[in-house]
Amino acid sequence: MKRRNTAPFDGRLVSFPHTFESDSLSKPRVSQSTLQFLDAATLNAEHAAAGLALDDHFDDWDRSPLVDADLEIITIARRVWGSSATLPHCLTPRDPVQ
């Protein structure tokens, strides 16, 4: 798999293609991706709008504390039951636990 940035990082969005090559493919396949990076306040607002409540934020998977300058945010959130917000398909639980 090959990757290269196709646009400079503007502090919020970065776009890049993935090129997949395999003996089982007749030709390489390219998938374009764009990642969005949000600050903690914006991320909290997006979660609230989707009916999610923040349980915690971390700097890394080791649960180190989040500080303002962190580039990665690990978020632990839960659905607020009874919320009128509609969850995006990717966040809709298959077997909700109440």
Q: Which domain holds residue 71?
A: 38-92
In angstroms, the CA 76 to CA 57 distance is 6
- Is 52 found in the same domain as 80? yes
Sign of the alpha-carbon dihedral angle for 5, 44, 90, 72:
positive
- For 57-67, the pLDDT digits (tens) are 888 889 888 87
Identity of the amino acid at 70: D
Any domain includes 31: yes
pLDDT tens digit string along 2-40?
555 556 667 678 888 888 888 998 998 988 888 888 888
- pTM (global) more than 0.85: no
- Sheet of 2-3, strands arranged across: 2-3, 13-20, 29-36
In a domain, 98, yes or no: no
pLDDT of 75 reads: 87
- Domain annotation covers residue 17: yes
